[in-house]
Structure 1
Amino acid sequence: MICLLCHAEYTLEPTFHQLFLLKHPSPGLCTSCHDQFQLITPPYCSRCYKTGIKDVCSDCKIWEKEGIIVNHQAVFTYNTAMEDFFSRYKFMGDYRLHHVFHQYFKAEKGYTIVPIPVSKQRFQERGFNQVMALLQPLPFNSLLEKEDGPAQNTLTRVERLNNKNTFTLKAKVKVPDKILLVDDVYTTGRTLQHAISVLKQGGAQEIKTFSLCR
């Protein structure tokens, strides 16, 4: 097989180190490339999985002051390897990479998976919704639409926190009571909180959130 990142030939066999950490190689990636991705391990924030925190991080405490208790889980840290991955996958539009982390996305009994949408402009530029592609082949329900606006990666942290809500419910959709809201990367949490606000206005009673990276 040929690695989609470094283009080296490889065989899909987990090393002893990977088996010990329950970190299995991903389809499409060689062991060397896959091992550069860092799983989130304790200590981390009990609410958002921010690493290096033993209890609740300052971000989640700020959300709590706004009456929001964050309920988020993530798998990987957003290190240099993951930044390079998303540069290829998300910003350069290498759709072949959409399946390499599929093993980390799981359905949760009783919850409807809802992906964070991209705007029509971003979809036309990229050709796909990166979150929906990551979720394949899991069933999900696309309930939200997003207005055109500046890309999140072009905004500062303060700008992201102050960014207006660009999400709306699609016409004539039925919002389920329990939702697992999924995004690719969690930074400030503002994107997910905007989406949560819209979904709760639409009738959702309980919403958990998940991202590949934190």
Structure 2
Amino acid sequence: MFNRSVYHYNPLLQEMITKWKYRGDYHICQSFEEAVEAAFKQYFVKTHPDAILVPIPLSAERLQERAFNQARVLADLLPYQSANALKRIHGEKQAKKTRQERIASVNPFVLEAPIKKNVILIDDIYTTGTTLRHAAKVLKQQGCPKVCSFTLAR
């Protein structure tokens, strides 16, 4: 699956994302806004003009814990229609899993609303790509013609 990321994951970015996601420093996202918009325009506006953004969802439990979905926040920075088409079944945090555990994980997504247009999945970090591949699989099985992804960091 085609993925583009704004940044390469590094210690500074790891610290910023940790503060944003896990410590509730919601305003850190403003630091990413200009770069996110520029990278999205560079990679997707001409090639995917009619795509729908689908932010990777958090489970209800994780959303209650954090009070916001970082993928939804990133999607809201972009000039495209978005849809909450997927639902995530609660499970262990990806950050707690090894690479092998992530790759072997069961698909945690179910489709809430079918989408018959091309989709750009939105997420914060691309590590192994398993989360995005799971989400893409569910969308494609229900008739979505093409799925690619855009992440803050890889």
TM-score bucket (shorter structure): 0.7 to 0.9
Alignment equivalent of 2:33, drawn from 74, 77, 102: 102
Q: How does 1:1-214 map to 2 (within 5 A)?
A: 70-103=1-34, 104-105=36-37, 106=40, 108=45, 109-138=49-78, 139-170=81-112, 173-214=113-154
Q: Report the alpha carbon displacement of residue 134 of structure 1 after superposing the two structures with TM.
A: 2.0
CA-CA distance at 1:154 after TM superposition: 0.4
Deviation at residue 77 of structure 1 after TM alignment: 0.9
Per-residue CA deviation, residues 98-134 of structure 1 (Å, 9 max, x unaligned), is 2321221436311111110000010000000011112
User: What do residues 120-173 of structure 1 show as CA deviations (whole Å, max 9, x unaligned)?
Assistant: 010000000011112224331110000100001000111100111000011xx2
Gaps of 5+ in 2: none
Distance 2:20 2:72 in 1: 13
Q: Sequence identity of aligned pairs in percent?
A: 36
- Please tell me whether Structure 1 or Structure 2 has the larger radius of gyration of its CA atoms: 1
Structure 1 Cα separation of the partners of residues 121 and 75 of structure 2: 11
CA distance in 1, matches of 2:103, 2:114: 29
* Structure with more of its chain in helix, by fraction: 2
Which digits, 9 at most, give the CA deviation of each residue in 1:57-93, with x for residues without a partner? xxxxxxxxxxxxx311112111000110111001112
C-alpha distance in structure 2 between counterparts of 1:73 and 1:137, whole Å: 16
Higher share of residues assigned strand: 2
After TM superposition, what 4+ stretches of structure 1 lie above 6 angstroms from structure 2? none
Secondary structure, aligned partner of 2:123: strand
**SS of residue paired to 1:132:** helix
Shift of 1:176: 2.8
Distance 1:85 1:100 in 2: 9
Q: Quick one: distance in 2 between partners of 1:205 and 1:162? A: 25
Q: Which runs of 5+ in 1 are unaligned?
A: 1-69
1:141 counterpart SS class: coil
Question: Which of 1 and 2 has higher RCO (CA within 8 Å, sep 6+)?
Answer: 2
Preserved CA contact (<8 Å) 1:102 1:135: no
